[in-house]
């Protein structure tokens, strides 16, 4: 099972950091909206499921941050003679922090718009038996204290279809 989680997260990270990924899309959407947003560097797209508080205590948080992880794997054996044929539930978290509450939610929404646009542009076969048919769910948490002073986390959840030997 860990092989499936590693495969899906590495595929997703590759799409997010590639040409046409999150960094370019954030810049394009910010220019269209006439807003100034900090860019997302490849080092700010992390394959890890870690709480914001813990990340800040380790001293390595440079916002905005994008976290990619697999939250659940289900082997439904849709294809009887495959070792694994089922679903991988994926999550992409955008964490935005700033010193003032002004526009923090709007800024988080811009990052989520960029992430969902990248997903929309990459529907289909991701290779190695990983397929993304489209569709996702977005959830915004409330603004809380953290990061530079205020922190908002937004999550994009979606399902990948997996067919692997």
In DSSP notation, 5-25 reads HHHHHHHHHHHHHSTTSHHHH
Q: How far is Cα of residue 134 from the mean position of the Cα atoms in its chain?
A: 14
Residue 159 has pLDDT above 90, yes or no: yes
CA distance 165 to 162: 10
Q: Whole-model pTM above 0.85?
A: yes
CB of 47 closer than 8 Å to CB of 68: yes
The C-alpha R_g of the chain, in whole angstroms, comes to 16
Band the pLDDT of 1: cuts 50, 70, 90.
low
**For residues 148 and 99, is the Cβ–Cβ distance under 8 A?**
yes
Element (H, E) at 88: strand 84-98
- The domains of the chain are located at 2-164
What is the CATH number that goes with domain 2-164? 3.30.2000
Has residue 147 got a pLDDT over 90?
Answer: no
Mean of pLDDT values over 109-135: 96
């Amino acid at each position: 099972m860990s092989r499936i989680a590693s495969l899906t997260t590495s595929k997703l990270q590759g799409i997010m950091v590639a040409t046409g990924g999150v960094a370019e899309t954030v810049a394009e959407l910010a220019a269209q909206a006439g807003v100034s947003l900090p860019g997302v560097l490849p080092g700010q797209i992390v394959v890890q499921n870690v709480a914001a508080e813990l990340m800040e205590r380790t001293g390595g948080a440079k916002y905005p941050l994008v976290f990619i992880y697999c939250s659940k794997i289900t082997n439904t054996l849709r294809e009887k003679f495959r070792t694994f044929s089922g679903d991988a539930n994926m999550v992409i978290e955008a964490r935005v922090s700033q010193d003032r509450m002004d526009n923090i939610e709007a800024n988080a929404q811009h990052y989520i718009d960029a992430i969902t646009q990248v997903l929309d542009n990459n529907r289909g076969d991701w290779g190695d038996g990983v397929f993304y048919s489209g569709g996702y769910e977005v959830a915004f948490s409330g603004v809380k204290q953290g990061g530079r002073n205020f922190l908002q986390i937004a999550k994009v959840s979606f399902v990948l279809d997996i067919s692997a030997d």
